[in-house]
Amino acid sequence: MLKYFLIPLGIMFSVFAQILLKKTTAFSYKEFSFYLFFCLAGLSYLFSFFLYSIILKYFPLSRISPVMTLGTLIFVIFAGIFLFHESFTLKHFIGISLGIGSIILINS
């Protein structure tokens, strides 16, 4: 049962890393905050990769990789919308819908 908990945890660390990297763009290379967010993003990616390597022990690569990628994509899109006021277009909706459809087909 723990193996199913690792999937959303790995996705969340990947999403968190991307949010932190986006946050670095608000600072100059000369500011401490840039390096702080950059290092935190790196640590988050490192932990995400570590979890992914554990997840691969329990699930086939051909099935778990699309799930992890789509999960990250969905949360990153919503983070962009709610945290950075980016737009959500019909293309986003269609892309997410097709991605979900592909996951269903791959895992059935």
pLDDT of residue 26: 92
What's the domain range around 61? Answer: 2-107
Average pLDDT along the chain: 93
Nearest by Cα to 38 from 50, 25, 51, 49: 25
Domain count, the chain: 1
Per-residue tokens: 40: 């935190």
Predicted TM-score (pTM) of this structure: 0.88
83: pLDDT confidence band, cut at 50, 70 and 90?
Answer: very high
